[in-house]
């Protein structure tokens, strides 16, 4: 019984340490019809909760509904208002210093690879 409790505690600690690797600035390039656009995300983990922001048009856009499950993350961002508003939902996988995000923008499925800034 003690061995099981110890193993469970070690797995929980290892999971929290791994999730903490998401903290910080992540950068990459988004392909917009053949034109590369630099992107940046700033993440902060708090247990299974993910928060942060991404600069869009010189404004900090808040990350919402952020969740961490092992090396899987999910979150959304919203920008614009009314009929011009848009919400993008992301799902990603963290592998070392690479974060691969998948999302749908205006009916177009996309993938974005980010690297952790040093």
Residue 74 structural domain: 2-116
pLDDT at residue 4, rounded to an integer: 35
Q: Decide if pLDDT at 7 tops 60.
A: no
Are 38 and 31 in contact by the 8 Å Cβ rule? The answer is: no
Q: What is the mean pLDDT of the chain?
A: 84
Q: Is residue 96 helix, strand or coil? A: coil
Percent of the chain with pLDDT over 70: 83
Rounded mean pLDDT of 4-31? 63
CATH no. for residue 25?
2.40.128.120
CA angle 64, 66, 67 (to 5 degrees): 160
Look up residue 71 and give its DSSP letter. T
At residue 58, the 3 state secondary structure works out as coil
Residue pair 54/41 in contact (Cβ under 8 Å)? The answer is: yes
Mean pLDDT of 23-31: 95
Work out how many domains the chain is built from and give that number: 1
CA 18-39-33 angle, to 5 degrees, is 125
Higher-scoring residue by pLDDT: 103, 59? 103
Tokens describing residue 26 = 């992540």
Q: Which residues face 112 on adjacent strands?
A: 101
Task: Average the pLDDT over 18-34 and give the result.
Answer: 84
pLDDT digits (tens, 9 = 90+) for 107-116: 889 999 999 9
Is 57's pLDDT higher than 90? no
Kindly state the average pLDDT of the residues 89-100.
96
């Amino acid at each position: 019984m003690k061995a099981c409790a110890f193993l469970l505690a070690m797995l929980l600690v290892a999971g929290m340490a791994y999730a903490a690797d998401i903290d910080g600035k992540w950068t990459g390039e988004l392909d917009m019809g053949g034109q590369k656009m630099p992107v940046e995300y700033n993440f902060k983990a708090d247990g299974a909760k993910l928060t942060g922001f991404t600069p869009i048009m010189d404004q900090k856009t808040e990350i919402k509904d952020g969740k961490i499950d092992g090396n899987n993350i999910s979150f959304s961002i919203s920008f614009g208002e009314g009929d011009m508003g848009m919400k993008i939902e992301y799902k990603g996988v963290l592998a070392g210093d690479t974060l691969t995000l998948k999302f749908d923008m205006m009916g177009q499925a996309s993938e974005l690879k980010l690297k952790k800034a040093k």
